[in-house]
């Protein structure tokens, strides 16, 4: 999955496994975008209202959340692959 909109069908599915995949891929996409902002901090076309430290902390906790989702997916038998390009 490349964009958040690509996860809509999975998010609306009655199957919790599909919704978990959507949650995982939405987080993955958001983390990639935040990582890009952090990596290009000095060359951004906009000025963030919060500091880089705050965004670094957000990224850190998003990473922890992703680790928990991966662990839960293993326990629940949910295959999270298939969203990557």
Does residue 82 belong to any structural domain of this protein? Answer: no
For residue 67, is it within any domain?
yes
Residue 7 contacts residue 26 (beta carbons within 8 Å): yes
5 DSSP 8-state letter: G
Q: Could you list the beta-strand ranges (E) of the chain.
A: none
Residue 69 forms part of a structural domain: yes
Closest CA to 18 of 85, 79, 84: 79
pLDDT band at 81 (very low <50, low <70, confident <90, very high): confident
- Over range 47-73, report the average pLDDT: 98
How much is the pTM? 0.89
pLDDT at 82: 65
CB 31 within 8 A of CB 62: yes
The per-residue pLDDT for range 29-58, each reduced to its tens digit, is: 999 999 999 999 999 999 999 999 999 999
By percentage, how much of the chain surpasses pLDDT 90? 92
Give the structural domain span for 13: 4-31+39-76
The answer to whether 69 and 24 have CB atoms below 8 angstroms apart is yes
Q: What is the pLDDT of residue 84?
A: 52
- For residue 83, the model assigns a pLDDT of 57
Say which residue the tokens 């959340």 belong to: 65
Per the CB < 8 A criterion, the answer to whether 37 and 48 are in contact is: yes
Number of compact structural domains in the chain = 1
């Amino acid at each position: 999955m490349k964009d958040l909109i690509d996860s809509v069908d999975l998010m609306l599915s009655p199957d919790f496994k599909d919704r978990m995949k959507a949650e995982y891929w939405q987080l993955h996409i958001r983390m990639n975008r935040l990582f890009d902002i952090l990596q290009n901090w000095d060359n951004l076309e906009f000025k963030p209202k919060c500091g880089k430290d705050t965004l670094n902390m957000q990224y850190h906790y998003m990473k922890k959340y992703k680790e928990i989702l991966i662990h839960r997916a293993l326990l629940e038998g949910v295959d999270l692959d298939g969203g990557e390009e």
